[in-house]
Amino acid sequence: MYTSDDSSWKLSKGMSDGGCSDPSVVEWEKDKLMMMTACDDGRRRVYESGDKGESWTEALGTLSRVWGNPRGDKAKGVGSGFITATVGGDKKKVILVTLPVYSKEKEDEEKEKSELHLWLTDNTHIVDIGPVSEKDGDEVTASSLLYESAVSGDSNHEDKLIALYEKKGGGESTHGIWSVRLTEQLQRVKDVVATWKKVDGIVSKLCPTSSAAKGTSTGNACSTVNITDGLVGFLSGNFSDDTWRDEYLGVNATVKRDATVAADAAVATGTVDGVTFKGRGAGARWPVGAQGENQLYHFANYNFTLVATVSIDKVPEGDISIPCWV
């Protein structure tokens, strides 16, 4: 329902797919709404509307089906915190989400524990900021977020982020309401947003400037688009302990080695802007489709582009294949 004059309300005609309930709705851009729902198939589906809810389209290219939830009846009634906020000196608009993360108890594989986590996204990158509630035997049944932005120039007030969540103990019928001030988590949000901006600046310099690009091929993608638009991950020189870390703080890649190579053998070393691999079968695996309950790169099931710069120092002689995998 929506109103433009506070005197009359209109009911939108659009709706989500069957089997989805517990919607949370935010206004993302002018005339654009986003709705998160919990669905029976075990995924959280996100829908977009550009006509005030008259029609909804699943956002398969960004946030839809990223987060998981219990299947069947257990999926019902678990509402999520889902709000927009402007953070940082540049007042970047982001989406904040609270959702329970589930884990099996060792003593009882049928019993799941839930721990409420705060997530950050700008509708391109997604980062798990961390837990909001304690991982105890209680079940988180619903959550919401409250955010107050400080007025520019007012030193007496500061940004505030508060999580409200409902939980119940095993076998109990009564629910308890909890309120938590998320001061440390809000600072982490600001730090992540600042990192995104820094990495955007680094990636943008990978393309020539407009003056330097003159005279280059018209097929140069840098001449027509912003290279950071839609860029979800970037692997460069952040490498240690066999882990190639995503500069955008998303999903990391891990070193892959041939089965005949010793586990403690050095098959990869970091460089200023990448990683050097040595030996048969050496490489890295970026687990875009094997992340467990929450699939940050779920869009890769539908459409994605992978760009890599590769330098081969010496091509092996003889009839030896050079493997390449994604």
CATH number at residue 108: 2.120.10.10
- Same domain as 167, residue 33: yes
Angle at 273 between CA 268 and CA 276, to 5 degrees: 20
Q: Is residue 11 situated within a structural domain?
A: no
Answer yes or no: pTM beyond 0.95: no
Residue range 120-129, pLDDT digits in tens: 999 999 999 9
Please tell me whether residues 53 and 183 are part of one structural domain.
yes
pLDDT exceeds 60 at position 326: no
Count of structural domains within the chain: 2
Q: Which CATH number fits the domain that encloses residue 270?
A: 2.60.120.200
- Is 2 domain-assigned? no
Report if residue 281 sits inside a domain. yes
250 lies in the same domain as 176: no
Q: Is there a single domain that holds both residue 140 and residue 265?
A: no
Predicted confidence band of residue 216 (pLDDT cuts 50, 70, 90): very low
Rounded mean pLDDT of 307-321?
76
Asked if residue 95 has pLDDT above 80, the reply is yes
175 and 82 inside one domain: yes
What pLDDT is stored for residue 280 in this prediction? 77
pLDDT tens digits, one per residue of 222-242? 656 788 999 999 999 999 999
Assigned domain for 15 exists: no
> Is residue 257 in a domain?
yes
Q: Which domain holds residue 322?
A: 232-326
> Does residue 210 lie within any of the structural domains?
no
43 and 184 co-located in one domain: yes
Report the range of poorest mean pLDDT among 68-72, 197-201, 256-260. Answer: 68-72
